[in-house]
Amino acid sequence: MKRIFSGVKPTGHLTLGNYLGAVRRWVEVDQHQADALFSVVDLHALTVEHNPARVRRLSLQAATLLLASGLDPERCTLFVQSHVDEHARLSYLLECTATDGELRRMIQYKEKSVRAREAEEGVRLSLLTYPVLMAADILAYGTDEVPVGEDQTQHVELTRDLAVRFNQRYGHVFTVPKATHPEVAARVMDLQDPTSKMGKSHENGAGIVYLLDEAETVRRKIMRAVTDSGREVVYDREESPGIANMVDLLAAATGCRAPAELAGAYDSYGALKKDTAEAVVELLRPVRERHAALAADPGYVERVLREGAERARGMARPMVDRAYRAIGLLPAA
Ligand code: AMP
Ligand code: TRP
């Protein structure tokens, strides 16, 4: 059976971008057709300024939201990255495989390091090595497919390069994975700035729909979204990014695969926004309700995570041991 791995960082509250770009497919498709692992990748949250108590809280909240979204612990393995030592163990070997140059070329590093410098926070070394840890997450499980939003394509490409290079130098150890993306809404844009992605950690939340936003908040954010200067509802990501984003949201929320056709059915921005707002509210309603029920029983979530980590460890351990031997480290007697 195919192996799937994906993850989400506990750097902020989960957004509609996370849900449409990644989580919904994990729930609806991936966990049913593959041996799938999903991880709250908390080590990745330490690469930028962070508050320890907040990261801890967001990790539990992310796991709870993944369950509320419909991940079923009977069908997939859900765990917290730092509970499984193999990720950090393998990451070091991959640091010995990657080059400084290829990491400095990563778009996310370029963007985030500029922001950290501007805030005079200092660029953590882990921000540079982050994609190597991500590669370790993926390769430790012999992963075939990595379901992610489009922003992660470059990181998965790097993972492939590292797997191939390691295998060529030291013998075949790793499966070479590939990224998969949803057909619609693989890149959900910020409602206030439709040229940049809807990310959890923007300072201004007005353009971000969080999974736990109240219905009224979701409606307000969508109705106030920045649209474009034209009047016609056309699906054109270059010329009318605000409207194209809105159409994508409506298409994704209603299960329509042809956003361009959907755009043709509207003759005003207002009507499009209104329908989008209602569709998104309905999409998120069950998630929010299940989250409330699960949050009332943290013992359950903690048990799921404990069992998930045990299963994950059992899978990663032999793979990482094999990599240690292949690269030339003496096995412990
Ligand atoms: P992150 O929040 O960066 O940990 O992302 C977790 C998953 O959500 C990854 O697969 C991302 O590609 C996906 N994702 C995050 N933001 C968006 C977005 N605005 N549109 C589509 N997918 C996204
Ligand atoms: N880097 C990913 C993001 O920012 C999160 C992530 C970490 C991930 N490790 C992963 C995604 C492994 C897929 C597989 O969204």
For domain 3-181+297-327, the CATH superfamily is HUPs (3.40.50.620)
Say if CB 12 and CB 200 are below 8 A apart: yes
Query: Quick one: pLDDT at residue 203?
Result: 67
- In whole angstroms, give the CA distance from residue 78 to residue 208: 26
Q: If you write DSSP's letter for every residue of 178-209 in order, what string do you get?
A: EEE--SS-SSPBPSS-TTSB--TT-S-GGG--
Residue of 41, 46, 94, 132 with the most ligand 2 atoms within 8 Å of its CB, for mutation: 41
The full set of domain ranges for the chain reads 3-181+297-327, 205-293
Query: Quick one: pLDDT at residue 94?
Result: 98
What are the structure tokens assigned to 281, written together?
Answer: 């509210």
Return all residues near 38 (Cβ < 8 A) that are at least 6 apart. 5, 6, 7, 8, 26, 66, 71, 76, 77, 78, 79
Query: Per-block average pLDDT, block size 10, for the chain (333 residues)?
Result: 97 96 97 97 96 97 98 98 98 98 96 91 95 98 97 97 98 98 92 93 85 97 90 89 96 91 92 97 97 95 98 98 98 85
C-alpha R_g of the chain: 20
Taking only the tens place, the pLDDT of each residue in 258-307 is 899 999 999 999 999 999 999 999 999 999 999 999 999 999 999 999 99
**Axis crossing angle, helix 125-139 with helix 107-118, rounded to the nearest 10:** 150
State if residue 9 touches ligand 1 by the CB under 6 angstroms criterion: yes
Return all residues near 99 (Cβ < 8 A) that are at least 6 apart. none
- In whole angstroms, give the CA distance from residue 308 to residue 42: 15
For domain 205-293, the CATH superfamily is Tyrosyl-Transfer RNA Synthetase (1.10.240.10)
Tokens 């989400």 identify what position? 8
Query: Quick one: pLDDT at residue 130?
Result: 97
Active site includes 2? no
Q: What is the DSSP letter of 242?
A: H
CA of 178 to the centre of ligand 1 (A): 16
pTM: 0.96
Catalytic residue among 197, 221, 273, 274: 197
Pocket of ligand 2 (CB under 6 A): 5-7, 9, 41, 44, 134, 137-138, 146, 148, 152, 155
Q: What is the DSSP letter of 257?
A: S
